[in-house]
C-alpha cells in the first residue's frame, strides 16, 4: 500500500471541501450545424468547469440558474441537480440544467483529479463508437456513394434520412390536405399526410439502391420520415424491414406511447426515440409499455451525465439498448463520451460536426482528432478531459447577433430570486 498522502491525488489549489461557485458566464457560438452556447462556472479556487446549452436553446435557461448556484460546492453534483432540475423540461427547455450538470462534472473531476466517468462508477469501454449524419440527396445510388465515403473514412455505423422529403415531385406519392406537406408545426397524427403505395415503392427502391452500394455489414439507421401518421409509418416500416436497418428513428412524437407500442409490434426493425425526453421519469412510459427497441437520449436534454447514465441503466433492465443523440461543440461531445463510457448498454453516439475541419480546434489539451477510425477515445484527464478552450478559435465563432461576447460578466443574473420550493 502506498504511503503517499491522499492529497497527492487531489488538486490542492485549496481543498475540494472548501470549493465554492462564484460566477457563471457564457459565450454564444455560430457556425456549428446547430448553434450552441458554452457556459463557464468559476470557483473561489481558480478552477473553472465548462458545459453546453444544447443546439437552438436559449442561454437564458442557464443564466436563470446562476443565483441558485452561487455559494454551492460544485462537487455536490447530485445535491445541486436535485435543486435545479425543476427548471428543466423536455426538449430545449432542459438546456440550462444539463449545461450546469456538465460543468459540475468538469469541476468536480478537476478538483479531485479524476475523469468524469470515474465519478459515476468507472467505465465499460476505452473508446466510443460514433456515427455521423449524412445529408440526403434524391438519387439513391449517389446517397449510397456518400455513405460509402463515410465508410472509407473509418465510420462503422451510418445514418440517413428516408421520408416524405424525398417524395417531392413524385406524382401520386402522397395524399394530404392543402398546405400540410411542408408544415413542421403540427403533430404527426393531426396533419392528415399519408404515404401512398407509389410513395412506399419509391422509398423502398431508394433504400435498395443505397444498400446495393454499401452492402449489409455496416449498420444503417434511418430518420426524418416526416409528419405522417402511425398507420403510414407501419406500412412504410413493414416495406423497409427486409433491408435490416439498425432502427427507425422518431417516426412519431415520443409522447404517444400507445402509438409507439403499435409501431413496435407491427414492424421487424427496432424503433427508436428519446432525443427530446427529460429525466428518467420521462422515459418510463416507453419502458413499461415495451414500446421501443432503442432509446436515443440527448444528454443536453435528458438531464446531463448522471441522469443519462441512470436512463441507460433503467433501459438495460427492460432489455433496451441506448444510443445517444448529439449535435454541438466538443464540450458537450466529451460529456457524452464520459457518459457513454460509463453505461453498459450503450450502443453508438451521433455527431453532426465531422465535416467541420475547425471543430476539434475549439478545445485544447487533448489528443486530436477526437474521432479516430469511427471511434472516440475516452480521455483519462480530469473532468471532461480537455485542458481549456482555445480562446482564439472560440472568438472566431462568436455569434455577434446574440447578446454577449467572450464570457462577458453576467452580474444582472446574480440576484435572480423566487420561492422555488415545490412543497408546503
Mean pLDDT (10-residue bins), the chain, 424 residues: 52 77 97 91 97 92 97 98 96 96 98 97 98 93 98 98 95 94 89 97 98 98 97 98 98 98 98 98 98 98 98 98 97 98 98 95 98 98 97 96 93 90 87
The pLDDT value recorded for residue 5 is 55
Structural contact between residues 52 and 99, judged by C-beta atoms closer than 8 angstroms: yes
pTM reported for the whole predicted model: 0.95
At 376, list the grid cell. Answer: 472516440
As a residue count, the chain comes to: 424
The pLDDT value recorded for residue 241 is 98
Q: CA 251, 256, 262: angle at the middle one, nearest 5? A: 70
CATH architecture, domain 6-115+390-413: 2-Layer Sandwich (3.30)
315/287 Cα distance (integer angstroms): 7
Starting from the edge strand earliest in sequence, which strands make up the sheet with 220-223, in order? 158-161, 220-223, 248-249, 271-273, 294-295, 321-324, 346-351, 127-132, 375-377
Tell the burial category of 171 from Cβ atoms under 10 Å away from its Cβ (0-12, 13-18, 19+). Answer: exposed
Q: In a 3-state reduction of DSSP, which class is residue 177?
A: coil
Q: Identify the CA nearest to 51 among candidates 131, 325, 42.
A: 42
Which regions of the chain carry the CATH code 3.20.20.120? 120-385
The pLDDT value recorded for residue 8 is 55
72/15 Cα distance (integer angstroms): 14
Candidates 3.20.20.70, 3.30.70.100, 3.20.20.120, 3.40.190.10; correct CATH number of 120-385? Answer: 3.20.20.120
Which regions of the chain carry the CATH code 3.30.390.10? 6-115+390-413
The pLDDT value recorded for residue 1 is 45
- Tens digit of pLDDT for each residue in 205-234? 999 999 999 999 999 999 999 999 999 999
Amino acid at each position: 500500500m502506498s504511503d503517499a498522502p491522499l492529497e497527492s491525488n487531489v488538486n490542492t489549489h485549496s481543498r475540494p471541501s472548501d470549493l465554492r461557485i462564484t460566477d457563471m458566464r457564457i459565450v454564444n457560438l455560430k457556425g456549428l450545424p446547430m448553434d450552441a452556447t458554452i457556459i463557464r462556472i468559476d470557483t473561489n479556487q481558480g478552477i473553472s468547469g465548462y458545459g453546453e446549452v444544447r443546439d437552438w436553446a436559449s442561454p437564458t435557461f442557464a443564466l436563470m440558474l446562476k443565483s441558485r448556484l452561487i455559494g454551492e460546492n460544485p462537487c455536490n453534483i447530485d445535491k445541486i441537480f436535485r435543486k435545479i432540475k425543476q427548471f428543466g423540461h423536455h426538449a430545449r427547455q432542459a438546456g440550462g440544467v444539463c449545461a450546469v450538470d456538465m460543468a459540475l462534472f468538469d469541476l468536480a473531476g478537476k478538483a479531485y483529479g479524476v475523469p468524469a466517468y470515474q465519478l459515476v462508477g468507472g467505465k465499460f469501454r476505452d473508446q466510443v463508437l460514433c456515427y455521423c449524419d449524412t445529408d440526403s440527396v434524391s438519387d439513391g445510388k449517389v446517397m449510397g456513394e456518400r455513405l460509402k465515403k463515410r465508410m472509407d473514412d473509418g465510420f462503422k455505423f451510418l445514418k440517413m434520412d428516408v421520408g416524405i422529403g424525398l417524395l417531392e415531385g413524385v406524382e401520386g406519392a402522397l395524399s394530404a390536405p392543402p398546405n400540410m406537406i411542408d408544415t413542421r408545426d403540427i403533430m404527426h397524427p393531426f396533419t392528415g399526410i399519408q404515404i401512398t403505395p407509389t410513395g412506399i415503392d419509391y422509398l423502398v427502391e431508394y433504400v435498395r439502391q443505397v444498400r446495393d452500394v454499401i452492402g449489409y455489414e455496416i449498420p444503417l439507421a434511418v430518420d426524418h420520415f416526416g409528419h405522417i401518421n402511425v398507420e403510414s409509418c407501419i406500412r412504410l416500416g413493414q416495406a423497409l424491414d427486409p433491408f435490416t436497418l439498425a432502427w427507425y428513428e422518431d417516426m412519431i412524437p415520443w409522447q404517444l406511447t400507445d402509438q409507439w407500442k403499435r409501431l413496435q409490434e407491427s414492424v421487424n426493425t427496432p424503433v427508436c426515440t428519446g432525443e427530446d425526453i427529460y429525466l428518467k421519469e420521462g422515459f418510463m412510459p416507453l419502458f413499461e409499455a415495451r414500446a421501443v427497441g432503442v432509446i436515443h437520449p440527448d444528454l443536453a436534454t435528458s438531464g446531463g451525465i448522471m441522469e443519462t447514465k441512470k436512463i441507460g441503466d433503467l433501459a438495460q433492465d427492460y432489455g433496451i439498448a441506448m444510443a445517444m443523440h448529439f449535435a454541438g461543440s466538443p464540450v458537450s461531445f466529451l460529456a457524452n463520451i464520459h457518459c457513454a463510457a460509463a453505461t453498459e448498454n450503450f450502443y453508438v453516439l451521433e455527431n453532426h460536426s465531422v465535416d467541420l475541419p475547425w471543430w476539434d480546434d475549439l478545445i485544447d489539451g487533448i489528443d486530436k482528432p477526437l474521432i479516430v477510425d469511427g471511434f472516440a477515445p475516452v480521455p483519462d484527464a480530469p473532468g471532461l478531459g480537455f485542458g481549456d478552450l482555445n480562446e482564439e478559435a472560440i472568438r472566431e465563432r462568436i455569434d455577434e447577433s446574440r447578446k454577449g461576447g467572450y464570457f462577458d460578466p453576467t452580474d444582472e443574473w446574480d440576484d435572480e430570486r423566487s420561492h422555488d420550493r415545490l412543497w408546503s
